[in-house]
Structure 1
Amino acid sequence: MGHPEISEDTFGYESKTTLGLRESIDDVTPVPAQESRLQLFETQPSPEEQQWTPDLRDWLVFVNILILAMMDSFDATVMMPVLPELANAFGKPLVTTLWVNTIYLIISAASQLYFTMMCDVFSHGPLWIIAGVLSTIGSGVCGGSMSLAELIIGRMVQGIGGGGATALCFVIMADTTPESIQSRYSCYILLVRLIGSMLGPAVGGLFIDKGSWTWACYFNFVFCGLGLLLIPISVDLRVSKNIPLRKLRIMDWSGATMALLGPSSILIGLGWGGTLYQWTEWRTLMPIAVGLAILIALVLYESIWALHPLFGAKIFRSPGEIMTYVGCFCHGFVMLCQMQYFSLYFLATKYYTATVAGLALLALTGLALTPAAVVGIVLASEPQCSKYLISGGWALTILTSGCSILLDRNTPTVGWVFLFFAAGLGHGLVLASYNIEIYNRPKSERKSFAAKPIVISNFLRAWGMAVAIPMGGVAFLNLFGDELQRLGLKRDVVNTANGYLVLMNQVQMSDDQRKAIQDASATALQIVWELITGVSVVGGLSSALLWRHKS
């Protein structure tokens, strides 16, 4: 029935940190003048070459990798404490402003696939420059936005650059380091992404309280400027005149596009349901139906027609690998959902300032650094430990997610601090141990870097993050509306222009009324904590199945 499979030799992977490309697909001898200044070893490194010692240029490349990886995670989290202020500034419903974060995460996840596929064809240097420039342009558009629509467009452009930069970080790291140490070096990337997640909410909250939300966007120029400064002096930027068009044509562009459009359409419908429109209205049902149809088409296309499918049977080739990918998706969902809605808990239930809300998240992300560093760096050469650590991390995550259901306006500071410490410990264990598991799985025969397990796992983790915000938002806003209605207020007051901040900064309410609103917020957030707990249980079950399926 479908297309005949094209030989993998046609799709052979080679380093594109070099100055150019092969003359044709079938050439096997690169032109010496085009060899990369970053090529540190031959295709088959000797044992002596495995004792790799980086020189100055290698360190410049790696520093640039860390800067741009941190930039992406910073951009993904900087708006978390800013969203209520945006609803007030633009006079838009809160459910709409949630898309400021959601759209960045969706586009960032999708661009990771596109940029990784382009790395199989084009030189890495120019692609890295493009990603940095797009992120810079997007940051400028965001900072200068006069409407919510402009801000969302800016975040889309910023997401293309951020996701592309992250994808290239892993590609170039794999290109310039021996295979035996890639697990450890990829953990460094994950650690700086955690640091970016620490800086994002703290910086965003600080600018909201002490300045303007626009400076939370302009702050990204620091990362963009450093990255664009280092790229020209660390990688070659010359572009080959010969581009293998056949190789470009057979890549799974259609699959990547459907993987973007299908879930996005479903999330639009879910985000509108019960907030902007009733669940039974066509405006809610149509996006969901279209998204499901696209996903069905994606499955058929990848199974029958795709020449080199990104999501075919060869990629999900074993139950153990599938469970690993499921765990990565669930972890992305849990971590991002906790960060976003813990921030909302501090703003809506505890009435903390945005600065305090952003700094409070340091207890969650900050403690994740230590276990992630110990596991990912010290135990990188002990892959047999990964299953124990994954299961232990998920057990701790399930426990803390369940305990978060108890949070209310009376929860003492010491209570939520210890809860965040335990949650951060679980996240650090899960993040680093999955990284070890992925790098120590049986090697795939696929030569395209886009089909590598590290790329697919990063893509699915990013999609878990993207799904978290609208899913949590629709659950929170629907139940919050019910609670407000029970108190005698209009059901949609929290989701109307200025309504959210009116509730938080209400000065004409009595203490009892204020406490009632706080309790309503805490009750509404309980369904979010229950959702997180359910996803954590799924992640824990997937880790348990890793014990049964060893490969």
Structure 2
Amino acid sequence: MGLSTASPSSGDPGQRPVHSNEVLNLGPYTGNEPNYSNDGFEMDRLPSRPENEVQEPYSVEDKSRGNWRIAAIMLALSLSLFISALDQTIVATATPTISAELHSGTGYVWIGGAYLIANAASSNIWANLSDIWGRKPILLTAVALFFGASIICAKAINMPMLIAGRGVQGIAGGGLIQLITIIISDLFSVRLRSLFLGLIEFIWAIAGALGPIVGGAFTQSVSWRWIFWINLPVCGTAFVLLLLFLDVHNPKTGVLDGIKAVDWFGSFSILGLTVMVLLGLDFGGATFPWSSPKVICLIVFGCLMSLFFIYSEKRLAKYPLMPLGIFKNRSNMACFIVAFTHGFAFLGQEYYLPLYFQSAKEASPLHSGLLILPYVLAEAALSLAAGLIIHRTGHYLEVVWTGTALVLLGSGLLIDFNATSSLAKIICYQIVAGAGCGLLFFPPLLALQSNVPQDENAAATATFGFIRNMAMAMSVVLGGVIFQNGMDTRQSDLLTAGLSDSMVKELTGSEAAANVMVIQSIADTLQRSVVKDAYAWSMRNIWILYTSLGACGLLVSLFITRQHLSVEHVETKTGLKEKQPLTEPRQNESVSEP
């Protein structure tokens, strides 16, 4: 089974594209596909196909990059993605224990939130740096930074130190996730990358499955600090493999030239808007009233920073983080909105389902990790299936529509969860929700990549990732706010049940999520039942939010257009010599599809 693909070519940028080796040999190359050059490439010139026509896969040999090298590259990329994805969910089952040990109930949301906010804020910056200095050195930097941040987290002696370490981890994780997707897009044709992206997203989902279990096992059996120590050997192995085998184009851009080319205004403004908006949303209603000057200033200035970011990208940046032309196409906008609704649903559900299990169902950290397995295993299986289906047929729209429908249905089913829900109901509902999220990891990205010029592929991919990461961060932060406000609303019920004022204080507001273990210490059966009902009711409000966004995603997915997934490919060249400044006229600024 040949895994070879073309190595970076060194000729004229407008040269005839070379074939990517189509891995599975699932069908004969018919020889009747036209060759599309990326020079002056316009998507609306592609031949239309009947909607029910199956696009046959191809088998094209090219031995310039061997099977073992591609296997080593994919192993290194998979390990890098694995640790980044693992750290998004591994803390979910351990967070109550960590918060209690470090004596900070208010830090519950920020153990996960700091990682996700930094992840979202940094993703486009990493892509911009890789366009300037090349993918390999920037990816190696991200792996090394993740290694160092994991040590900080493992050695944390208080909550501020842990949150700071998680923030640095998030910055590095943003680079890992974005650069891995971009490198796969650089290496393989649009058609073939569906297979490898499906594999990568399968690994992401498996990491999500293992995260709560590993986190719960370490927390119960050893120490929560091993959640972070485990990253070190994985990072080290990935770093060595990338150093030895990754052979993408290296532009050798000078340090000073590269620094001058960085979109500094865009970088600082996107950091500012992300952090300020998410901090404002997190503080509102929980830490401070929504009318508090702190909350209002954070949200208002965050929104103003977004206006400056748009101005910077349009007028100031020579090499922008986010080319605004990609937003002019209706299909592209639909892809971005679907990415947002998907990111909001999948990580929020992975993050808050363990809280439901530990509170309403009185599960231990390890048991809650096992209970969420139906969700993440369905997610993993369907993400891999999506890659195989798209590689085989070339059709992605049907996958997107099915995924958005299942996300809506699955999120709606979670609203039915309560303190007495049966195990069968818990398993079945999670399978539906997880299947929908698994189908949406990368098909919207393929729809986007097939609709933008080759030289904007990295920026479009990073923008897609930024929007999804922003949704993931907002999901955790807003979910925490909704949950805390819900527990505050049920405070009178807890007092009526006869719980002491001190106990009620522990079980409401910002302390509620960190004190789920207190439930098991309540001797009175009726009082314990009232507390579990309060937790389940507060979680129900989170599921309602996810269901509403799921409906939005389903509606918007209807505006994504169908494009031919080409088997022709020219590997992207990075560096300033290959980048066309925004100030120069572009031949293919917009790729609209009626």
TM-score, shorter chain, exceeding 0.5: yes
> 2-side partners of 1:406 and 1:448: how far apart?
44
Contact 2:118 2:174 in 1 (8 A): yes
Shift of 1:214: 0.7
Question: Which residue is equivalent to 1:340?
Answer: 351
CA contact (8 A) 1:82 1:204 kept: yes
1:79 aligns with 2:88: no
Aligned: 1:465 with 2:472: yes
The answer to which of 494-503 and 295-304 deviates more is 494-503
* Residue 90 (1) aligns with residue 99 (2): no
Bigger shift: residues 295-304 or 100-109: 295-304
Counterpart for residue 19 of structure 1: none
Q: Which residue of 2 aligns with 1:8?
A: none
Q: Which runs of 5+ in 1 are unaligned?
A: 1-36
Separation of aligned partners in 2, 1:144 and 1:467: 28
2:514 and 2:214 mapped to 1: Cα distance? 22
Structure 2 residue aligned with 1:16: none
Residue 414 of structure 1, CA deviation: 0.4
User: Residue 204 of structure 1 aligns with which residue?
Assistant: 215
Q: 1:175-226 CA distances to partner (integer Å, 9 max, x unpaired)? A: 3334542232222222211111111111111111222111111111232122
The alignment-based identity, stated in percent, is 24
Q: Does 1:146 align with 2:157?
A: yes
1:483, CA displacement in angstroms?
0.3
Map 1:195-234 onto structure 2 (within 5 A): 195-234=206-245
CA spacing shift, 1:247–1:99, aligned 2, 3 Å: same
Q: What is the CA–CA distance in structure 2 between the aligned matches of 1:237 and 1:46, rounded to whole Å?
A: 16
Give the alignment's TM-score, normalised by structure 2: 0.80
Which of 363, 371, 390 is the aligned partner of 2:382?
371
Question: What is the aligned partner in structure 2 of residue 433 from structure 1?
Answer: 443
For 1:527, the equivalent position in structure 2 comes to 541
Equivalent of 2:532 in 518, 529, 534:
518
Relative to the length of structure 1, the TM-score reads: 0.86
1:547 to 1:116, Cα distance in 2 relative to 1, 3 A:
closer
Instruction: Provide the residue aligned with 1:541 in structure 2.
Output: 555
| Match among 73, 83, 105 for residue 61 of structure 1 | 73
Offset of 1:502 from its aligned partner?
6.4
**1:267 maps to which residue?**
278
Query: What does residue 455 of structure 1 align with?
Result: 462
Match for residue 506 of structure 2 among 479, 493, 504: 493
SS for the counterpart of 1:546 is: coil
Tell me, what secondary structure is at the counterpart of 1:98?
A: helix
The 8 Å contact of residues 20 and 192 in structure 2, kept in 1 or not, is answered as: no
Letter in 2 for 1:300: Y
Equivalent position amino acid for 2:367 in 1: V
Q: Describe the shift of the 1:450–1:241 C-alpha distance in structure 2 as closer, same or farther (beyond 3 A).
A: closer
Q: Which amino acid aligns with 2:338?
A: G
Note the alpha carbon deviations across 1:367-411, whole angstroms, 9 max, x for none: 12222222212322534x322221221112111211211100100
Query: Quick one: distance in 2 between partners of 1:220 and 1:228?
Result: 12
- Cα distance, 1:93 vs structure 2: 2.3
For 1:302, the equivalent position in structure 2 comes to 313
Q: Any residues of structure 2 matched to 1:189-200 within 5 Å, and which?
A: 189-200=200-211
* Distance in 1 separating the partners of 2:185 and 2:332: 20
Which one of the candidate residues 436, 444, 459 is aligned to 2:453? 444
Q: Which amino acid aligns with 2:402?
A: G
Cα deviation 1:336-365 (Å, max 9, x = unaligned): 111111111001111101111112222111
Partners of 1:171 and 1:507 in 2: CA distance: 50
In structure 1, distance between residues paired with 2:556 and 2:512? 42
Unaligned runs of 5+ in 2: 1-5, 22-59, 563-591
Q: Does 1:398 align with 2:408?
A: yes
Q: CA deviation at 1:504?
A: 3.3
Task: State the alpha-carbon separation in 2 of the partners of residues 255 and 367 from structure 1.
Answer: 38
Q: Which has the higher helix share?
A: 1
3-state SS, counterpart of residue 490 of structure 2: helix
Within-5 A mapping of 1:82-161: 82-94=94-106, 96-161=107-172
CA contact (8 A) 1:117 1:449 kept: no
Relative to structure 1, is the Cα distance of residues 221 and 281 closer, same or farther in structure 2, using a 3 angstrom cutoff?
same
* Change in CA separation of 1:511 and 1:45 when aligned onto 2, cut-off 3 Å: same
Q: Residue 254 in 1 paired to residue 254 in 2?
A: no
The residue identity in structure 2 corresponding to 1:80 is: A
Q: Choose 269-278 or 242-251, whichever is displaced more.
A: 242-251
Report how far residue 510 of structure 1 moved: 0.3
Match of 2:483 in 1: 476
Indicate if the aligned counterparts of 1:484 and 1:517 stay in contact, CA closer than 8 A.
Answer: no
* 1:124-149 deviation per Cα after TM superposition (whole angstroms, max 9, x unaligned): 33323221211111111101100011
Worse-matched range after superposition: 427-436 or 318-327: 427-436
Change (3 A) 1:149 1:325: same
Change (3 A) 1:191 1:502: closer
Secondary structure of the residue aligned to 1:121 is: helix
1:72 to partner: Cα distance: 0.8
Aligned to 1:321: 332
1:168 equivalenced with 2:179 (yes/no):
yes
Contact 1:472 1:528 in 2 (8 A): yes
Structure 1 window deviating more from structure 2 (112-121 vs 406-415): it is 112-121
* Residue 46 to residue 507, structure 1, CA distance change in 2 (3 Å): closer
1:147 and 1:68 map into 2 onto residues whose CA distance is 28
CA RMSD of aligned residues (A): 2.8
* Number of aligned positions between the proteins: 511
Residue 436 (structure 1) shift: 3.5
Q: Which has the higher mean CA deviation after the structures are superposed, 453-462 or 430-439?
A: 430-439
Tell me the equivalent position of 2:574.
Answer: none
**Other structure's SS at 2:440 match:** helix
Cα drift, residue 459 of structure 1 = 1.9
Question: How far off is 1:242 after superposition?
Answer: 5.0
> In 2, Cα distance between the equivalents of 1:524 and 1:497?
14
Counterpart contact for 1:503–1:517, Cα < 8 Å: no
